[in-house]
Structure 1
C-alpha cells in the first residue's frame, strides 16, 4: 500500500511540476509576446547634434539599451517620402529608416514602420501630399502609395529586416493624402489604404498592417471610422490607437475606463487585434505619467482573447531640451525618466 501511494505521489508530483512548468512557459511566452516600446525616430538626429544619453548612475549608454533595461522590446520608426534636413521635422528618409531599423534589430528589438505618406508630419490636423505627388491623377497617386510602401519595405528586407507591423498612414481620422484621400471621399481613401496593404503583403504576407486613429478613448469616433472602413472593404489586421489625455485636457484617470471600453469594443466589433501605438504624458509630471503608462498597459493586456498587442510611447527619449516636446520621458540631465519604469512590469 505504501509503495503504491509513494509511486502515485511521485507520479502526481512530476505531472504537477510539468503542468506548472507548461503554464509558466505559456505565461512567459504571452508576456514576451506583448509589445512594449517606443517611437524613437528622432534618435539619429539627437545623436548627430551631440545629445548624449546616460543611465541612472551617470554612465553614458546607448539609448536603445536604456530602453531595453526598462522593459521595452519594440521600436517604431516613421517614414517620410522626400523629407527636409530639419533636425526635428525632417529626416526619416528610406535610407535613414533602414539604418535605424537595422540598429534596432541588432539590439534584438521588434520593429514597426509608420508610413506618413508625406514629406513631413501627417496627423489629424494635416495630411499633405508629398510635393512630388501633388499634381498626380488619382490612379497615379494610388500607384505611388504602392510603390513607396513596396520600395521602403523591400529595402528593409534586403538589409535583413522584416518589420512585424506596418502602419498605412499616421493618425488618419480625417483620411490621408488630402484632398484625394479625405474621409469626405471614403471610396478613394479605401483604395489608397488598400494599396498600402497590398504592397506590404507583397513583400511579406506575415507583416500585420495597422490602421491608426487618434483619441483612443473616443469610442464614437472609432466606431464611425471603422464602420466606414468596413463598409468600403478596407483591408487591415490591427486597429492602432493614440492615447494622450494631455491633448484633450483631461487626466488619464478620467478617460482610462473609456480607453478600456473602446479597446474591448474594437476587438469584439471588428474581430481585430488592437494596439496603443502612441501614448505619452507630461515629462515633468513623473508619477502621473508612470501611472498613466501602467494603466494603459493594464488596459491593453485586459483585452479579451489576447487581442491587445502592446503599448508604445511616442518619443520618450525626445528630451524637451532638444525637441521642445513636453511629452517626452527624459530628464534634463540626459537620464531616462522614472516614469518609464512602468514598462518593467
Structure 2
C-alpha cells in the first residue's frame, strides 16, 4: 500500500512538471514577420502623422486592434515613408525637428525614407510656390545660398542621427519652378535651374548616394513634362529621378494611368532618367475603385523595362474622418485601412 502511494505521488509530481513545461509553450509569442524592404518602393507620405497623434487620432488594424500607424502600413506591405519639410512653419509641424522624429521612427522599422523639400513655410504646389518669410528680401545669389544652407542643415541633422534618406526631392510639384517670382520657370527657366541645382548639389554633398528627384504634378501631361525638363536640361539643370503626382477620379483612372505610363516611358527614353510616382490617391469612400486603380498602377509601373520606375507612394493614406478636410485617404471613418491598401501587399 505504501509503494502504491509513492507511485501515485510520483505521477502527480510528473504531471505537475509536464503542466509547467506546457504552459510557457502556450505563451510563446509568434515569430516577428519578415519584411522585404528592398526593390520596388511601395509607401506613403505620412507627414501629418505626429500632428494627428497630438490631436488624439488613433489607428486600428482590420481586426480593430489599436496599432501605431507606421507599423500598420509596414504590415500592409509598405516599405517606404515620405516626409515633407517646411522652413519655418507657424505651428512647428514639418519643421526639421518634426521631420527628424518621423524619420527616426521609420528607420527603426527598417523603412526607406524620402525627404520632400518644399522650400516654403507652408504648402508649395502648382498654384503657389511662396518663399519662406525669412527669404523674402534676399538677392537671387543669396536665395541660392539659402536653398543650399537649408537643404544642408536638414540633411545634416538626419546624418548626425544615422538616418540616410534614399531619395530627396528638391521642390514639391515644381511644374512652374519654385520660389516665385525669381524661380518661376515660365518667366526665367535659367534661374529655376540654378535654384534647383543649389538644392541638388547640397543633397549630394551630404548624401552622395541619395537620388535627387524633380517632382511635377499631373503625371499624364507629357507635353508639360517635356517643356519643363527640356528647359532644365537646356539650362544645365540636374536631377536623378523624375517624380510624378497622379490623382485620378473613378471615371478617368484607367485613361490617366495609361497616359502616365506612356509619359514615364517617354521620360526614361528622352532623358535617360528613372521615374517614380511620389504622390497618388483617390476618395476613401470608393475603396474598391481605389484598389483597382492602385493595383493596376503598381503592376504597370513594375512592368516598365529594366526597373526604371522606382515605386509608388500614396499621399497621407492615414487621414480619415475629415482630417484637415482631406478626403483622398485610404482609411475608413473608424480608423481602419480600407481594401484600397491591399494593392501594396501584392
Instruction: Report TM bin, short chain.
Output: 0.7 to 0.9
Match of residue 43 from structure 1: 49
Match of residue 162 from structure 2: 160
1:125, CA displacement in angstroms?
0.2
Q: Deviating runs (4+, > 3 A) in structure 1?
A: none
8 Å contact kept, 2:44–2:81: yes
Match of residue 15 from structure 1: none
Match of residue 100 from structure 2: 98
Map Cα deviations across residues 7-62 of structure 1 (whole Å, 9 max, x no partner). Answer: xxxxxxxxxxxxxxxxxxxxxxx993100000000000111110011111111111
Structure 1 gap segments, 5+ residues each: 1-29
The RMSD of aligned alpha carbons is 1.4
1:57 to 56, 63, 84: 63
1:258, CA displacement in angstroms?
0.5
2:183 to 161, 181, 184: 181
TM-score, normalized by length of structure 1? 0.88
1:315, CA displacement in angstroms?
0.3
8 Å contact kept, 1:330–1:337: yes
Pairing 1:79–2:106 present: no
Could you say what secondary structure the match of 1:245 adopts?
coil
Match of residue 344 from structure 1: 345
1:250, CA displacement in angstroms?
4.7
Partners of 1:31 and 1:144 in 2: how far apart?
Answer: 34
Match of residue 145 from structure 2: 143
Partners of 1:144 and 1:320 in 2: how far apart?
Answer: 38
Partners of 1:263 and 1:298 in 2: how far apart?
Answer: 14
Larger radius of gyration: 2
Pairing 1:118–2:120 present: yes
C-alpha distance 31-115 of structure 1, shift in aligned 2 (>3 A): closer
Map Cα deviations across residues 314-333 of structure 1 (whole Å, 9 max, x no partner). Answer: 00001143221010111110
Match of residue 274 from structure 1: 275
Tell me which moved more, 70-79 or 254-263: 254-263
Match of residue 327 from structure 2: 326
Pairing 1:314–2:294 present: no
Structure 2 gap segments, 5+ residues each: 1-35
Match of residue 21 from structure 1: none
8 Å contact kept, 1:259–1:299: no
Match of residue 202 from structure 1: 205
8 Å contact kept, 1:79–1:114: yes
Partners of 2:142 and 2:83 in 1: how far apart?
Answer: 26
Partners of 2:334 and 2:252 in 1: how far apart?
Answer: 27
8 Å contact kept, 1:267–1:303: no
Match of residue 292 from structure 2: 291
2:235 to 232, 235, 238: 232
Match of residue 67 from structure 1: 73
